Structure 1
Amino acid sequence: MDWNTLATALFGADHGISQEGDVLRGNVRFDGNPLTVIGTTNHAPIGVRLALEQARVVLDTVAQHPGRPILLLIDTQGQMLRRRDELLGINRAMAHLGMSIDFARRRGHRVLGLVYDQALSGGFITSGLIADACDALPEAEIRVMRIPAMARVTKISEDRLTELSRSNPVFAPGVENYVAMGGVRRLWTGDLAVALREALASASGEDVRAADGRTRGGRRLAAAVIQRVLDAA
């Protein structure tokens, strides 16, 4: 689904969200209440410029509109793989974006992520996965690392990883696997405005991803390991 069709389904034809290059932004009203929307389109690679632009909108919302909910519309191919961005400190820019989102959450803003098209690698980690909750459309594509890249990093053969991915969501791309692992809270089907209303109503600052992964069978040990660390602290 393209971003304009999605925005129209959520907020009506006069939604007020604009596109500037690969960046989406706007102040909309939902159920009579204001909502800040920030996101990307065109499978945008997140480099220094895009990371700082998004962080600026988040911080401006915190400063100018205390408590206003923030919706992140996610469509990214991951971090920008370009020497210029590496030299400019892409790691710091993306960390700044993630910290800005976390700061907004700590200041009482409900922050929701919605993967409406594609979410890959660092561009997803520093946005949707830091929100209070990250949801997705059923047709979205989500992965952090392709199997060939995973094979190079882990030194496990592609054939073995492909075999493991058939039974273990941790090794497999796909939106359903991220739901199973708890990274994606739920899929939005049917009336999208109803789905957004429910998402806003159930958003909280509590991180339940590990518990969801245990309940759904996608990450069976994470919650137990986290609890052991907390108990030992």
Structure 2
Amino acid sequence: MNWNTLATLMFPQGFEITERNNFLSGTAQVDGATVAVIGTTEHTPIGIEIALAQAQAVLKTVREHPQRPIVIMVDTQGQRLRHRDEMLGINSYMAHLGKCIQLARNQGHIVIGLVYDQALSGGFITSGLMADACYALPDATIRVMGLPAMARITKVPEELLIELAKENPVFAPGPENYVRMGGLHAIWDKDYASQLAQAIRDAGSVDQRAALGLQRGGRKWAQRVMDAIVDGHDVAEA
């Protein structure tokens, strides 16, 4: 879905969002209050420029509008694979973006992520997955790595990975599998405006992803290991 069409549906009370070089920034009205909006479009890869632009937008909101909710609209094919970006330290830029989002959360900003088209690899990890809660549209494409590429990297036959993906969401792309793992809180189908307003009201400061993954049966050990560490037990006892 085109970001402008989505914004019209998601922000019926009005919005002022600009697009520049596939970077989205601006404000919108949600449930009678102003929220900050940042994001990406056109499946853009995350290079140093757009990672820094997103980080700057987050810091500006923290500095000028304390505790204003932030909505991150995600559409990216992942980290930009260029020698220039690697030499300039794209990993550090992306880490900086993630730290800025965490800073906003620490300062009382509710952060909501929405995958409205593509969300791949590091471009998703340091944006939508850093939010208090992340959601997706039904037709969104979400994956860390495609199964053919995973087969080449891991040397595991693609046919075996396809079979594993049927039972284990870790191997499988698609928003439904990320819901099972707890990475997504839910998939939005209709009435995006009311669902966004409800997401902001429901957002909390405690990371629920591991607990959701355990509850939904898609990520069975993360929460158990965390609890064992906190309680000082041997992981095998969990």
Unaligned runs of 5+ in 1: none
**Equivalences for 1:118-133 in 2 at 5 Å?**
118-133=118-133
Shift of residue 14 of structure 1? 4.7
Cα distance in 1 for residues equivalent to 2:49 and 2:223 = 36
**Equivalences for 1:32-181 in 2 at 5 Å?**
32-181=32-181
1:23 touches 1:38 (CA, 8 Å); kept in 2? yes
Q: Deviations over 1:176-208 (max 9, x none)?
A: 000011001011122111100110011111111
- Tell me whether 32-41 or 215-224 shows the greater mean CA deviation: 215-224
Cα distance in 2 for residues equivalent to 1:210 and 1:64 = 33
Unaligned runs of 5+ in 2: 234-238
Taking only aligned residues, the RMSD between alpha carbons, in angstroms, comes to 1.3
Cα distance in 1 for residues equivalent to 2:194 and 2:32 = 14
- Tell me whether 207-216 or 57-66 shows the greater mean CA deviation: 207-216
Name the SS for the 2:186 alignment partner.
coil
Cα distance in 2 for residues equivalent to 1:190 and 1:14 = 18
1:181 touches 1:212 (CA, 8 Å); kept in 2? yes
Size of the alignment, in residue pairs?
233
Aligned identity (percent) is 57
Name the SS for the 2:122 alignment partner.
helix
**Equivalences for 1:192-211 in 2 at 5 Å?**
192-211=192-211
2:236 corresponding residue in structure 1: none
1:185 corresponding residue in structure 2: 185
Equivalent AA in structure 2 for residue 166 of structure 1 = K
Name the SS for the 1:109 alignment partner.
coil
1:12 corresponding residue in structure 2: 12
Shift of residue 124 of structure 1? 0.2
- Tell me whether 31-40 or 68-77 shows the greater mean CA deviation: 31-40
1:189 touches 1:195 (CA, 8 Å); kept in 2? no
Return closer, same or farther for 1:122/1:222 CA change in 2, 3 Å cut-off: same
TM-score normalised to structure 2 length? 0.95
- Tell me whether 77-86 or 13-22 shows the greater mean CA deviation: 13-22
Cα distance in 2 for residues equivalent to 1:128 and 1:120 = 11
Name the SS for the 1:17 alignment partner.
strand
1:214 corresponding residue in structure 2: 214
